Structure 1
Amino acid sequence: MLRRAWGFLLPTLAGQEYDSDRHFDELFRKLNRHGRGMVDIKELQKGLESMGIPLGQDKVIEQPVTNGKRKLLTLGTFIQYLRDNEKTMKMTFKSLDKNNDGVIDASEIIYAFKLIGINIPKKEADKILASMDIDGSMTVDWTEWRKYFLLEPVKTVEEVLHYWNRFTAHSLDTKNMNIISRLIEMVKEGGIISLWRGNGATVLKIAPETAVKVWSYEQYKKLLTEEGQKIGTFERFISGSMAGATAQTFIYPMEVVKTRLAVGKTGQYSGIYDCAKKILKYEGFGAFYKGYVPNLLGIIPYAGIDLAVYELLKSYWLDNFAKDSVNPGVTVLLGCGALSSTCGQLASYPLALVRTRMQAQAMVEGSPQLNMVGLFQRIISKEGIPGLYRGITPNFMKVLPAVGISYVVYENMKQTLGVNQK
């Protein structure tokens, strides 16, 4: 029975037999000590490991049959695992085979790593190829790929790259990822204009977002204080948090479009409308609110801290250093805005990172669509706690001057319009 089932499976998977067909068949028959076509999972793992093929129990065994203290695996379960894996492996192989010539070469491995910000030399790419290459061609075709990754607990493009990264960890250090090298790669991939990819959507969203935030901030402050009462720090924080949540809810679909345009390849979208149309067509309306929950959880402390700290700093300067003017001046306002934004960013950046990854993950072919908790777990398991703050340096470089300028304009417009501050 085992031989017939196994013989049926392999041509279905590959269109031809694996070199190790006989070894797998013999292993199953040898370990089938409990009858009814079942093998002990731990014994199966040891047997496969002796053949140089690690078997990830958590990936294969979803519903094992329990017999006392033993966990048994049916041949049918293992067959279904192989069938499901081949579909994912095929998608991953095609994603890496950029020129569609049916093989993966060193240049395509180098390019894949560059997309995640890691630069590797050709000799390291050759080492990776050599670990999979069977015929000595220094390329990997589909048969070699399938044979190598059939029972590995890595399937998606991202998982494969992390697997290779560990495989040559001494040279593929993520410290190679830096702002300058990433800027250079962006220019090579799409020219100077690629540095402003998604900026149109940012400009379109920032006007209503800022207007709603500052208007609702003033309204919430009025709601939380009595007439003539001086507003306290707690009321400022709550008002800022509610204002940030209100503004983000209002403009969030544009946030998703902005992210997709920014991380997309050159020519993937012709513009804002084309991007929104494709998201709606292929992913549905719900895609416009992917990452909304972590975004909301992040914007509440960020907006609350940002607005509250800004007004506290400005009030402190006016109380202690101002002479005859109630206008602190551009320099002071820029400093207050930059410092308040820094405090808000440090408190909320991990949630902002998860939000951005949730918005962008649908663009990676073969990548699992993880929720907020799943993404947090994956980042921490693969990169540790520092991984939650990856990219915060360029974010500071972008946000600090932008927020500072926004507050300068905000204060000047308040004076021009005659808006009184509590």
Structure 2
Amino acid sequence: MVGLTASDVPPTMAVTIFSAGVAAGVADVITFPLDTAKVRLQIQCECQTSSAVRYKSVLGTITTLAKTRGPMKLYSGLPAGLQRQISFASLRISIYESIQEFFTTGKENDVPCHFVSAVIAGFCTMVLSSPVDVVKTRSVNCLPGRYTSVSDCAMMMLTKEGPSAFFKGFVPSFL
């Protein structure tokens, strides 16, 4: 009888969760300037003053931020972004795997099983990671000095707006 080789053994849940978190973290570091530009473009009307720079495109926003405030400004809020990505990816993968095992009918390519598992995993993940996502978005807001840190942002939200503040924008995020 021939034993299983290392390539035949599926990774453990811990390895899968860790790998998903690391991959999401690396991807976030690489793409974070794009996210910063997206947020700036989305909220520029709220923060517009007569002397404020008007951003017109993603590349223009990235270039303007790097020139006027320095290249590190493109990574403002990165710790919160990494927390969000690592928790989101790890939760989504682990929840999906667990739900899929629960619904598995024995067929290898059971599309309804995969679809239902993905929807449930996505919903559960958004419920659990929405607070981190909201804090991340606020920490890269265009109002400099509003929050001293990610934890300061979370505490101010909790004390001034209550727990529901952490779920603002939940529905569009899930959809």
Contact 2:103 2:117 in 1 (8 A): no
Confirm whether residue 297 of structure 1 aligns to residue 83 of structure 2. yes
Q: Distance in 1 between matches of 2:15 and 2:40?
A: 36
One-letter amino acid matched to 1:287: K
Deviation at residue 242 of structure 1 after TM alignment: 1.5
Equivalence for 1:322: 106
Deviation at residue 341 of structure 1 after TM alignment: 1.7
Q: Distance in 2 between matches of 1:284 and 1:290?
A: 11
Equivalence for 1:396: 174
Deviation at residue 309 of structure 1 after TM alignment: 1.9
Contact 1:245 1:300 in 2 (8 A): yes
What pairs with 1:254-403 in structure 2 (closer than 5 Å)? 254-265=34-45, 268-318=54-104, 321-323=105-107, 326-329=108-111, 331-360=112-141, 362=142, 364=143, 368-370=145-147, 371-397=149-175
Q: Distance in 2 between matches of 1:230 and 1:368?
A: 47
Deviation at residue 317 of structure 1 after TM alignment: 3.5
RMSD after superposition: 2.4
Deviations 1:167-195 (CA, angstroms, capped at 9, x unpaired): xxxxxxxxxxxxxxxxxxxxxxxxxxxxx
One-letter amino acid matched to 1:389: F
What pairs with 1:204-283 in structure 2 (closer than 5 Å)? 226-265=6-45, 268-283=54-69
Which structure 1 residue ranges, 5 or more long, are not aligned?
A: 1-224, 398-422
Indicate the SS of the match to 1:345.
helix
Contact 1:233 1:312 in 2 (8 A): no
Indicate the SS of the match to 1:322.
coil
Deviations 1:129-168 (CA, angstroms, capped at 9, x unpaired): xxxxxxxxxxxxxxxxxxxxxxxxxxxxxxxxxxxxxxxx
Deviations 1:352-401 (CA, angstroms, capped at 9, x unpaired): 111111212x2x4xx6341212211211121122222222122222xxxx
Contact 1:291 1:354 in 2 (8 A): no
What's the TM-score once normalised by structure 2's chain length?
0.81
Higher relative contact order (CA 8 A, sep 6+): 2
Q: Distance in 1 between matches of 2:87 and 2:36?
A: 21
What's the TM-score once normalised by structure 1's chain length?
0.36
Q: Distance in 1 between matches of 2:116 and 2:17?
A: 19
Which one has a bigger Cα radius of gyration? 1
Q: Distance in 2 between matches of 1:387 and 1:273?
A: 31
Indicate the SS of the match to 1:270.
coil
Name the % identity.
Answer: 20
Deviation at residue 264 of structure 1 after TM alignment: 2.2
Contact 2:41 2:56 in 1 (8 A): no
Q: Distance in 1 between matches of 2:26 and 2:110?
A: 29
Indicate the SS of the match to 2:10.
coil
Contact 1:350 1:388 in 2 (8 A): yes
Q: Distance in 2 between matches of 1:317 and 1:261?
A: 42
Deviation at residue 291 of structure 1 after TM alignment: 1.1
Q: Distance in 1 between matches of 2:61 and 2:106?
A: 49
Contact 1:295 1:352 in 2 (8 A): yes
Deviations 1:27-57 (CA, angstroms, capped at 9, x unpaired): xxxxxxxxxxxxxxxxxxxxxxxxxxxxxxx
Contact 1:240 1:308 in 2 (8 A): no
Q: Distance in 2 between matches of 1:263 and 1:334?
A: 34
Q: Distance in 2 between matches of 1:295 and 1:359?
A: 9
